[in-house]
A and B are shown apart, each in its own frame.
Chain A
Amino acid sequence: MSTVTTGTPYLEVEDLKVHFKTEDGIVKAVDGVSFSVERGKTLGIVGESGSGKSVTSLTLLGLHNMRATTVTGRASVGGTDVVAAPHSTVQKMRGKDMAMIFQDPLTALHPYYSIGRQIVEAYRIHHKVSKEVALKRAVEMLDRVGIPEPQRRVKQYPHEFSGGMRQRAMIAMALVNDPDLIIADEPTTALDVTVQAQILDLLGDLQKEFNSAIIMITHDLGVITQIADDVLVMYGGRAVEKGTVEQVLRKPHHPYTWGLLNSVPSLHGDASEDLKPIPGNPPSLLNVPSGCAFHPRCAHAMLGGDGPCAKIRPELEVVQGLKNHTVACHLSEAVRATISDEVIEKVDA
């Protein structure tokens, strides 16, 4: 299906910027983000609301709000730059080269059409086959994603499915054309934990089978540990830390990553102690703080005198000795390494 050979990334994003013009000023939803994903690999993008993680993924499919929006940079999907490509080209790639799974499968499926009809439609956009053939394929896909009695359920409507089954149907629809890139935007956030576990397992299995590249967008670090190979931590529209899951979650080098790891309540450790929240609120993308966007909430910010944190925007730099691990922080590497060990010690307690 794709001409890209294994080893070269299927998706390559370089310096992607997405800026919206609003009445209140320019919203820099994504402000210079670069990453890549190979086939068969999963990249987790972590961030809070307003970090730019969802806009990044919508932009790849050209599904962002087109009005008053400027997109710059490069985003190569299987060799085609979807930022520069005409609308019609991107539209034809949707569903076939890149597919998307959304957060809430109840609102993301059309309420008035049967599950089968929606999958058949998705298949026939890219395959010139009869409705009967497409329906057979839909039943196969429902079966593949673990929906019992697919022959019967294919005729049912979304409201007749439970939350978990709806998300499975959504996944079946996304995978019906065997896409090379799957973008999953918080696919388990609306689901119960036991169902979340099922869906994450399913995505992992399907990835092995279809050898697709997956982008998993989430706010939940736990989900990342279960499914991702690489992680990109976003804050205020920019990447602040990037690396393998092992690197970012076991040797984190950015104060925001530390903050996330510290503030998440866990099932282990001392529960009688107060949690260590990150103070303040995520920044407004209309008015991102100067220098490092995280400096107003950072316990380690160097602000007085020659302190660079509020003045100079840190760029991603390689963390020495750790291949592919990059971080955007002014703290010295030695300082970061010490704090990182302390943070991880607490997480493991």
Chain B
Amino acid sequence: MTQTDAAAIPEQRAADARGPIMKVSKLTKHFPVRAGLLATKQNVRAVDGLEFEVGRGEALGLVGESGCGKTTTGRMLVRLLKPTAGEIVFDGKDITHLKGGSLRSLRQELQIIFQDPYSSLNPRHTVGAIVGMPLKVNKINPPGGVKKRVQELLELVGLNPEHYNRFPHEFSGGQRQRIGIARALALNPKMIIADEPVSALDVSIQAQVINLLRELQRELDLSFVFIAHDLSVVRHFCDRIAVMYLGKIVEVGDRVQIYEKPSHPYTKALLSAVPDVSKIGDKATGRIRLEGDVPTPINPPSGCRFRTRCWKATEKCATEEPPLVTTSTGATAACHYPETY
């Protein structure tokens, strides 16, 4: 495997001596719902006890299918949602319970980019106003003035700075996502949470935006949590990947560990389901087909949550929840019977 060497370079960057920029422990979010006619209140266990770290300058990928809790996690990380339990430490500070002014100043250092470039920009504001808004809200007057800073930002994300006075509808989807990125960068954040930043874009445009984000990460030494359902997109952007299933992390590893030697059966099945452009006609051979759908997070399966769809599941999987432990590949996985290579 020739790519192993090349892929190892980002890992070195990840191991920064300054320690992790973000450390998450036992992060949990339960949404109360009432189901059925009886008055019992139940919880949607959207996120259930996440543990992970993000190194400085590192891009951590958070992948999983719908309902796995990745989006909820992203919103908690920037404190758009309040965690039910657990702790988020960002840059040495516990931000789990921040309120009011200190929450606002957190937003200067920790930003989020959303999926939909159409609805996340106010159609009645000019691009200049949108990108400059974070500066105005936080009463920051950059050297040279807000306008100059906004034009620098537009240039940085590959937009024409002269389009300062245009409105969002005058831009294409990809350009709108660039505007969103420029807005996120306005306050010089240390870290960006990107929630499905390219999934609403055309294929030919996705690559443009991924390249832009990679470039920004290198130039500005940004840390990222990159949330996506598309495994190939994540592979091209992230140094380390955490795979989520039903509110839990089932495996964390670097690019090689996850994509070439997946330890957890779910990771393996997920990869196997992605159609491969270079393989024509092998419609059935060597593919793992998961049965059924993801179970409801209101009443997740006992023990290992993946066991209802897993071909390796035994009695033990129903009774004992597997802990996240280091596997033979060096990754961390929560499985009683991890894959071996």
Contacts and interface: CB of A to CB of B under 8 A. Distances in A.
A binds B: yes
Contacts of A222: 274-277
A218 to B, nearest CB: 10
Nearest to A226: B275
A246 B203 contact: no
**Highest count of chain A CB atoms <10 Å: which of B2, B232, B270:** B232
A267 B207 contact: no
B293 A162 contact: yes
B203 A204 contact: no
Contacts of A223: 275
A297 B205 CA distance: 12
Given A164-B293, A267-B232, A197 B6 contact: no
A198 to B, nearest CB: 7
Contact of A272 (B10, B275, B280): B10
B315 interface: no
A274 interface: yes
Interface residues of B, number: 52
Nearest to B210: A275
Interface residues of A, number: 53
**Highest count of chain B CB atoms <10 Å: which of A49, A263, A269:** A263
B38 interface: no
Contacts of A84: none
Interface in A191-214: 192-198, 200-201, 204
Given A192-B229, A276-B207, A266 B277 contact: yes
B41 interface: no
Contacts of A286: none
B65 A268 contact: no
A146 to B, nearest CB: 9
Interface in B211-256: 211, 214-215, 229-233, 235-236, 255
Contact of A48 (B204, B270, B283, B293): B204
B302 interface: no
A194 B174 contact: no
Interface stretch (A133-141, A277-285, A322-330): A277-285
B283 A226 contact: yes
Interface of B: 2-3, 6-7, 9-10, 65-66, 172-175, 202-208, 210-211, 214-215, 229-233, 235-236, 255, 259, 269-281, 283-284, 287, 289-290, 293-294
Interface of A: 48-49, 162-165, 192-198, 200-201, 204, 219-223, 225-227, 245-246, 249-250, 259-261, 263-279, 281-282, 297, 347-348
Given A48-B203, A282-B172, 7 more contacts: A163-B293, A201-B283, A246-B280, A249-B280, A260-B203, A277-B204, A281-B172
